[in-house]
Structure 1
Amino acid sequence: MPDYGANTNNTTDYSSYYDWTETDSYAPCNYENLGDFGKVFLPTLYSLVFILGFIGNGLVVCVLVKHRNQTNLTDICLFNLALSDLLFVLTLPFYSHYSALSKWTFGDFMCSFISGSHSTGFFSSIFFMVVMTLDRYGVIMHARTVAQYRTLKTGIALTMFVWLLSLSVSLPAFIFTKVTNESGVLRCEYLPENDAWVFYNFFATNILGLVIPLLVMVVCYSRIIPILVNMRSAKKHRVVKLIISIVAAFFLFWVPYNICLFFRFLKSEGLLSISCKQEAHLRLSLTVTETFAYTHCCLNPIIYAFVGQKFMNRALQLLKKWVPGIHFTSTKDLSDSSFRRSSVMSRSSEVTSAFIK
């Protein structure tokens, strides 16, 4: 999860790449080279993530809005996942500007609002991925029971619940993130009232943002895969690969950053003593793994939407209207009537269509 504050582990604090903070109890080290690296690396990567994430997730939103008359629970989750990632990436230009100048120039309100929006986008994206995982688990493991609940009303109710939950979890970022003036340099920092909020942010980042979602994915998909393997469906191998990709991508993109945050948390609490060189390595690791983790929002449209032939065809048709003169070759839709020649085949098609549409 993003780094939301100066002296904690959960807020975006670009000053930590340049200056020594008051939480350190020994002589300050020289991180000038690291600061120069961050001023170039962060704006460049943030800008790239913003462009790719905005285009990919924006296209998902446009396709789903255009075909809203055919909306189901899966489409509702995809739509809100794309909105979450859009909210997340829309905050990156502000942080790109902040990291390039090493000072905040957008005022106190925008400091709190951008930080809270950043946090809300992150958590809602994670939570909607969890909802999609549980929905797929229900479709495959408890199809008859779940079918009656997979309605438009259920989708709307789940959407409201997830957004409210994400907003609630992110409230500290809205409340405690403020502009400070340090020797004439304005910084946007997360300043909690007490240590309880420091532990809360650490818990939210690592437990709600990583451990629980990853655990849900591993448990659900580990039970789903054996069922898929035994089904008579031409799509089953693609679906198994998709499942592995979903879990692997989430793990590889977010775990390194959370490990770095964990080590910095131990250091800030005085539980880990490290040298200046090790501190420099930790800060560099935080910078690199943070931006690497953020690119996950660019992959979500590919992993969750564009892997399906039906969705891809819809996207290509939309692009044809937007980009005249360019011809795209439509992919063959595998979810045709040939998968419904028997009750067994129909069941297989229903299950696999929960993953790829």
Structure 2
Amino acid sequence: MSNITEDPFLSTSADYSGYYYFDENKTYSPCEQDDMRSFSEGFLVTIYTLVFILGFLGNGLVVCVLVKHRNQTNMTDMCLFNLALSDLLFLLTLPFYIHYSLVGKWTFGDFMCRFLSCSHSTGFFSSIFFMVIMTIDRYIIIMYAHKVARYRTTKACFSLILFIWILSICVSLPTFIFAKLENNGSCFYEPDSDILAYYDMFATNILGLLIPMLVMVACYSRIIPTLVKMRTAKRHRIIKLIISIMIIFFLFWSPYHICRFLNFLYSKNLLATGCTVEMRIKEWIIVSETIAYTHCCLNPIIYAFVGQKFMRRAMQLLKKWAPGPVSFTENSFRRSSVMSRSSVTSTVMM
């Protein structure tokens, strides 16, 4: 079995250097590739295209609305803006991988292989980190609103946002250093030591899933009882939103991280070897990866469009772009909305 540790973000359907198993005669034999190639090309290209279009439209609208109202933004809006930028950075790499899957080789050169690999990883981690920051911010403002209000300044927010971007780039830096373009046209990330392989697994599973999930559960488990005690008509809606955030995040990301972990165990000979096992793991990674990617399409809905303040701004902007169709929607929204005056509620609901 090959000891190459591939990053499923980068290998897609074009790199089959790891599709080998160790037979009884101690010779390396390639696993069947045709079915995997056809499955990858059809499935990946279709899902990647849909994710790119829907995610670009949703996150692009978030950016446009927040830029237009930049003079009225608060810390939550600034985090939401950077969350949308993270998702856009992540999404802008997908067309290159769509082309990679269709053509069967990387045609954009070695630097773009490294740069897009790092950009892809940076967008992934920064998106997760900004969701964590928004969760902590909601927890602090609800539980300790009066104590921390003076610390939630614009300068502090910019410093925190800068720190998140630097951290995301640093975590993703190995993908820039060790991603490479092979002579056969394959662009993939190959850690050249066990230390980097363990680091890659730590960064992906611990920083990308376990810590964010623990933060969400810890913070929201304290927030929900506090909201239940509040006398606001919107508390049930807010609680449902909070529960939805945790469930959606877990359902969309956990299968991918589990598959990555199984692939790591397989690369270390800790699972049964053979083409059947290897091909199944590769298929699970592809399917779970595309499911995880669709989460960036849901972020605008979860964190922006459910908020009445943001929705009202979005409707006003859309009305300027398409006056006829949107005017009815906006009027209907205004008639059905019951605006809350609670600062805590508006913080949770954006």
Q: TM-score range by the shorter chain?
A: over 0.9
Which residue matches 1:231?
A: 230
Amino acid in the other structure paired with 1:350? S
**Distance in 1 separating the partners of 2:300 and 2:269:** 41
Which residue matches 1:100?
A: 102
Which residue matches 2:128?
A: 126
Which residue matches 1:3?
A: none
Aligned partner of 1:334 among 325, 334, 338 = 338
Shift of 1:298: 0.3
Shift of 1:40: 1.3
For residues 225-260 of structure 1, the C-alpha deviation after alignment (integer angstroms, 9 at most, x for no partner) is: 011011001111111011011101110000001111
Shift of 1:189: 1.4
Aligned partner of 1:38 among 25, 37, 40 = 40
Where 1:354 maps in the other structure, the secondary structure is helix
**Distance in 1 separating the partners of 2:45 and 2:239:** 37
Where 2:151 maps in the other structure, the secondary structure is coil
**Distance in 1 separating the partners of 2:40 and 2:90:** 20
Structure 2's unaligned 5+ residue stretches are 24-28
Contact 1:107 1:179 in 2 (8 A): yes
Aligned partner of 1:52 among 30, 54, 64 = 54
Contact 1:53 1:89 in 2 (8 A): yes
Q: Quick one: structure 1 residues 224 and 137, their matched pair in 2 at CA, closer, same or farther if it must change by over 3 Å?
A: same
Amino acid in the other structure paired with 2:84? A
**Distance in 2 separating the partners of 1:111 and 1:323:** 39
**Distance in 1 separating the partners of 2:22 and 2:143:** 54
**Distance in 2 separating the partners of 1:132 and 1:165:** 16
Which residue matches 2:114?
A: 112
Shift of 1:9: 4.3
For residues 264-311 of structure 1, the C-alpha deviation after alignment (integer angstroms, 9 at most, x for no partner) is: 100001111144223222211111110010000000000000001121
Which residue matches 2:12?
A: 14
Contact 1:14 1:102 in 2 (8 A): no
Amino acid in the other structure paired with 1:61? V
**Distance in 2 separating the partners of 1:222 and 1:123:** 24
Amino acid in the other structure paired with 1:189? F
**Distance in 1 separating the partners of 2:122 and 2:347:** 27
Contact 1:221 1:243 in 2 (8 A): yes
Aligned partner of 1:83 among 58, 64, 85 = 85
| 1:287 matched to 2:286 | yes
Shift of 1:214: 0.5
Which residue matches 2:157?
A: 155
Where 2:84 maps in the other structure, the secondary structure is helix
Shift of 1:352: 1.2
| 1:194 matched to 2:187 | no
Structure 1's unaligned 5+ residue stretches are 1-5, 340-348
Shift of 1:24: 3.9
Alignment identity in percent?
60
Contact 1:104 1:186 in 2 (8 A): yes
Where 2:188 maps in the other structure, the secondary structure is strand
Amino acid in the other structure paired with 2:10? T
Shift of 1:52: 0.5
**Distance in 1 separating the partners of 2:243 and 2:203:** 25
**Distance in 2 separating the partners of 1:171 and 1:19:** 24
Contact 1:18 1:34 in 2 (8 A): no
Contact 1:9 1:198 in 2 (8 A): no
> For 1:280-319, what aligned pairs fall within 5 Å after superposition?
280-319=279-318
How many residues were matched structurally? Answer: 338
Shift of 1:192: 2.4
**Distance in 2 separating the partners of 1:106 and 1:63:** 33
For residues 137-193 of structure 1, the C-alpha deviation after alignment (integer angstroms, 9 at most, x for no partner) is: 001111121111111111111110000000110100111111011xxx201011323
- Point out the more displaced range, 250-259 or 279-288: 279-288
Shift of 1:20: 5.2
**Distance in 1 separating the partners of 2:21 and 2:126:** 33
| Structural RMSD (CA) | 1.7
**Distance in 2 separating the partners of 1:335 and 1:151:** 25
Which residue matches 1:257?
A: 256
For residues 311-340 of structure 1, the C-alpha deviation after alignment (integer angstroms, 9 at most, x for no partner) is: 11110111111124323422234335xx4x
**Distance in 2 separating the partners of 1:168 and 1:238:** 38
